[in-house]
Structure 1
Amino acid sequence: MPMAETEIEAGKCYSAGGEKYKVLFINRGIVTYQSWRDGVKMSPLRINVGVKAFAAAVKKAIACPAEV
């Protein structure tokens, strides 16, 4: 079940199953995030997507790791 757009916040992490995302910031409805998988370092690439699409892709908020 997708999350509500209002639940997406900068600085929080979210899970979409196997892949996880850390939201860096949200500006004018655009979410900038980095992704990672278990056992793999966080990607250095920053990805931009609309908040509506991001909320539809993620399933739940998770605790951000200290070091990924």
Structure 2
Amino acid sequence: YVTFLVMLIPFFIVNGILTGSFIEDQVVWYSDSEIIGIRLFTIPIEDTVYAFTMILTNLVLVEYLQKKFSAIK
């Protein structure tokens, strides 16, 4: 979870810029009919869940492979 919290800093900066938090015109536009509608600042909650899933999947996979290959030795 610490990895995810650290990752949120650049995530909010970059995604915030893309969705119009810090600039006048947004680069990426999400249709409200295509998302849940909950946003953190201007960022759809789905983006945060997706980022968490990507990080968590990689961490679980690395830990699994480390345990598997350390047991072989």
TM-score (norm 2): 0.24
User: Rg larger in 1 or in 2?
Assistant: 2
Between structures 1 and 2, the one with greater strand share: 1
TM-score (norm 1): 0.25
Between structures 1 and 2, the one with greater helix share: 2
